[in-house]
Structure 1
Amino acid sequence: MRKAFVIVSVLSLVAFALQFVFAAVGGFTRPTGDDAYALHSVNGMAVIPVLTVLTAVFAALAKAPGRLIGLAILPIGLVVLQPLIAMLAEAFTDASGVSTPLGLTIGGLHALNGIIAVHVVVGVHRGARQLAVPVPAGAGRLVTREGEPA
């Protein structure tokens, strides 16, 4: 299960990286329209949530520490927040549909939230890789606090 946890965490990381690529595709598509962000929307609303749930399930099945399981679940909350941020940014357009400075600032939070989600997924992947490293029989992991002798 630990190798499966690593594999799913890699797939999740790839999906998050592709999310930025798909956002750029939408941003550079001319003429712009609702379908310019279709890949970004499908990946963000279907692929990433499924991979996040699978990552959390495999973390639990791999008997990961509770903190790592919680960290694996966290991206789903950040993903749910994304469309809410986008809708709030869209709400701050003027009557002619032109973005306002406040709307653009809130829209920037959409990108910042995405960056935070990627950092969380990177942390989950690191934790999954560390968990997958076999520990030799009879050798327990030595945990010391900073400043204590080993």
Structure 2
Amino acid sequence: MRSLFIWLSRLIALAVVLQVLFVAWGAFDIFKNAGDGVAFTEDTDANVGQMLHSVVGMMVIPALALIFGIVSFFAKVPGGVARAWITVGLVVLQIVLAFVSFSAPVVGMLHALNAFAIAGIAGMAGSRASRASSPDTSVAAPVGSSDPGVTAGA
């Protein structure tokens, strides 16, 4: 379960990176079309970048976050439950910020900042879980030795 926890955390962080790419694609597609004299309205044919941003943001990331939260109960990662459910909470906030941004576009900046928080918390959760699961390969220095390379009695 710990490895699933780690992979889910990485997938969430990767999905946030994809979101940035999709929204940039969508925005530049709108700019390109505007330059060609095509107006972008609610009636305009779908913008692929915006469509992907919506699907990943409304379906994929929330599903990954919810699974991440559930898996956290079984992964036995120190602090993992808290970090996973903070991630879930930030994803819920992200959706709320997205809807509010349609009425108050300046809130879109908080939507963008919150995306960084989601990626950061999810990434940190996976990183800490990886460190907690990797065996300690350091060798302790013998008692009485100030140099780790010196063996006892040498």
Give the TM-score normalised by structure 1.
0.71
Percent identity between the two aligned chains: 33
Distance 1:33 1:131, change over 3 A: farther
Q: How far did residue 110 of structure 1 move?
A: 1.1
- Which residue number corresponds to residue 87 of structure 1? 99
CA contact (8 A) 2:22 2:52 kept: yes
Distance 1:62 1:44, change over 3 A: same
Structure 1 unaligned blocks of 5 or more: 93-102, 137-150
Deviations 1:59-94 (A, max 9, x none): 2212122x32111122222222223223333324xx
Looking at structure 1, the residues matched to 4 and 136 of structure 2 have their Cα atoms a distance apart, in angstroms, of 18
Looking at structure 2, the residues matched to 69 and 60 of structure 1 have their Cα atoms a distance apart, in angstroms, of 6
- Which residue number corresponds to residue 10 of structure 2? 10
Structure 2 unaligned blocks of 5 or more: 34-39, 138-154
CA-based RMSD of the aligned residues comes to 2.3
Distance 1:57 1:89, change over 3 A: closer
Give the TM-score normalised by structure 2.
0.69
Count of residues paired in the alignment: 125
Tell which structure's C-alpha radius of gyration is larger: 2
Q: How far did residue 135 of structure 1 move?
A: 5.5
> Which residue identity is paired with 2:101?
A
| 2:66 paired residue among 28, 31, 53 | 53
